[in-house]
Amino acid sequence: MQREGKIIGEITVIGPDRKGIVAKVTNYIFENQGNIEKISQNVVRGLFGMQLEASFNGIDKDRFTKGLKRLCRSLGMDIKVHFDEPDRLKNMAILVSKEPHCLEAILNAREKGELRVNIPLIVGTENTLKPIASRYNIPFYHVNHKDQASAETRILKLLDKYNIDLIVLARYMRILTPNFVWRYPNRIINIHPSLLPAFPGAYAYLQAHERGTQIIGCTAHFVTEELDAGPIIWQEAFRIRNGESLESIKRRGQSLEAKALLKAIKLYIEGRLEVYWGKVYIKSSSNRSISKSVDIGDAKSNKDDKGNNT
């Protein structure tokens, strides 16, 4: 990433909580003529995580990274350093389970040239969607998820191997741990089948149907350690018809899930997303922040499947 002629490095440090970590890492950055632009840290059940962005007027990336990794090994911590390269396509990994609609929409958009991104791998909790990956000649990795920690370790190795910039959860039906999420701050995008913060967690459409909700939709958001509470990027919505079945709601919702997820991915790839204090700001092409949008699908047309007014 480059900002006003500067090189921006994103650094994450994860490991057992102990004293002196923040001071030693930030001192190393200062010693290399770096300036810290953003920093955040957290501790969950004894696991320490720190994320920061540092700017440099000029830097030997390999030397800096090797030195920082040596420091973190001496501290017993894991380190990840990521420098965006503006002159290359971003590398995007897609994580899936068994629902195909979001994956197919993403791959179709890329095939048509609507998404300018490289997709070097797809990771699945099962092999259900492997034929779709094969159709688009994308390597598919089935990672056994009986143990989430072991699965995440395997996935993290794959992400490092392919130098991944962005992770998309295309109906990936697992909860990522802080150990995973903290390594990719504001670089994991999920799609949830409700207008968050309403109806978080599983069975969102069922909850909305049982509560008699009149407007329902979906939310593309960044993933944090708080389930379904990450910064909202984009939302789509539609009005529920009188007497509409749960299956009909799901079908219409899935179409909007793909639409909202694609929009969020495009905004990220175009470099138009900024996150401040847990809120996403979308920059226009003129670099001014604009508000996020919620499209109320066919809310203006209150008609049933036969075209009758309801």
Catalytic residue numbers read 228
Q: Cα 88 to the chain's mean position, in Å?
A: 20
- CA-CA distance, 170 to 10, in Å (whole number)? 25
Contact 7, 27 (CB under 8 A): no
- CA-CA distance, 251 to 237, in Å (whole number)? 13
> What residue has token string 């670089």?
187
Q: What is the DSSP string of 196-207?
A: TTSS-SS-HHHH
Instruction: Give the helix/strand (H/E) hosting 244.
Output: none
User: How crowded is residue 185: how many other Cβ atoms within 10 Å of its Cβ?
Assistant: 21
- CA-CA distance, 25 to 12, in Å (whole number)? 10
